[in-house]
Amino acid sequence: MTYDIRILDDAGHEVADGTLGNIVVKLPLPPGCLPTLWGNGDRFKSAYLAEFPGSYKTADACYRD
């Protein structure tokens, strides 16, 4: 199985090579991957799922060379 990993700007658009962006993974995630935060499902949704609908925000940044 392969997963769609993208680098997006803060507005949710793909960035050009050499441009810093957010690493996101298209949902659904594989079984066993962080389904929530302990005792705080709403915080998980707001921190990792709300900014880029349909994707999981890794909270990491990078650029593709």
Q: Considering just the CA atoms, what is the radius of gyration of the chain in Å?
A: 12
pLDDT at 2: 66
Q: Where are the domains of the chain?
A: 5-62
What is the pTM assigned to this prediction?
0.82
Give dist(CA 21, CA 61) in Å, integer: 5
Q: In 3-state terms, what secondary structure has residue 41?
A: helix
Which residue ranges of the chain lie beneath pLDDT 70? 1-2
Residue that the structure tokens 């990792």 belong to = 48
Q: In 3-state terms, what secondary structure has residue 6?
A: strand
pLDDT at 38: 84
Give dist(CA 43, CA 2) in Å, integer: 28
Q: Are 31 and 62 in contact (CB under 8 A)?
A: no
